[in-house]
Amino acid sequence: MSDKTAAVKTLSFLVVTIGLYLLLWQTILTRADFPVYYYARLIELLGIGLFIALALSTPMRFEEMGIVTDKVTLFRSLALGGCAALFACCFFAALGAFSGSSPLFSLHVGGDISRVTYILVAPLQEVLAKSVMYYSFELCFGREHPFLIVLMSAIVFGIFHVVYGIRMMLLAMALTLLTGWMFRRVRCVWGCALAHFAFGFLPACFGLA
């Protein structure tokens, strides 16, 4: 299969996935009042479906998708993700101290089961956002347009967070811009997953969510 054919299929699957998500969201919203936790799981189920569809119909190169990598690249990715996580910790600690949250830090985070499973959800979402979405846009636009690819990935990831409101959409886009830059520098998804977990989980620990 040529890269052009793979790109056309990839773009088609992306459009169908986004359209299906928005349709299901609107349909569910008008008929029932489910917690946002269920919409997050819907995103992940559709993302897994997209992954399977691409695996069956396009040549998926796991090394280029950043899932399988050598030890040096993995270490560099985790180091970069660790720096982002450390920055997140310091940033949210400063915000928590400024807002006067008490206690300043607690691992006993209130909320639904999504908080408990976030250590698994964050890596899964990064695999879907980078190894599927970012890689898909590369097939569509070519690697010579990295900034467009990062921007499009951020926009689509933001769209999938529409159920959380405009603020969360913008935050999700900002996070995807950061992890997209990280993925472009070190082609490994696991450091991105570490940064994603830190920025998604720590705000609640510091009383900011």
Dump pLDDT digits (tens) for 22-66: 787 778 767 777 666 677 677 778 777 877 877 777 777 788 888
Q: Which residues have CB under 8 Å from 16's CB, separation 6+?
A: none
Could you tell me the pLDDT band of residue 113, with boundaries at 50, 70 and 90?
very low
Report pLDDT for 115.
Answer: 60
Residue identified by tokens 């928590």 is 96
Neighbours of 26 (CB within 10 A): 11
Residue identified by tokens 């689509």 is 156
Query: Which segment of 9-13, 66-70, 129-133, 164-168 scores lowest on mean pLDDT?
Result: 9-13
pLDDT per residue as tens digits for the range 150-183: 998 899 888 888 878 888 889 999 999 999 999 9
Helices (H), the chain: 3-31, 36-57, 71-99, 113-116, 118-126, 135-141, 146-159, 166-185, 189-205
Per-residue tokens: 7: 């790109």
Report pLDDT for 51.
Answer: 77
Q: What is the mean pLDDT of the chain?
A: 81
Report pLDDT for 96.
Answer: 79
Residue type, 162: V
Angstrom distance (rounded) from CA 153 to CA 16: 15
Report pLDDT for 120.
Answer: 80
Residue 194: pLDDT above 90? yes
Span 184-194, mean pLDDT? Answer: 94
pTM for the model stands at: 0.82
Angstrom distance (rounded) from CA 49 to CA 20: 11
Query: Which segment of 15-24, 46-55, 109-118 scores lowest on mean pLDDT?
Result: 109-118
CA angle 188, 193, 197 (to 5 degrees): 165
8 Å CB contact between 99 and 207: yes
Percentage of residues in the chain with pLDDT exceeding 70? 86
Angstrom distance (rounded) from CA 188 to CA 74: 6
CA-wise closest residue to 87 among 209, 182, 187: 182
Helix (H, G, I), strand (E, B) or coil at 65: coil
Angstrom distance (rounded) from CA 177 to CA 160: 15
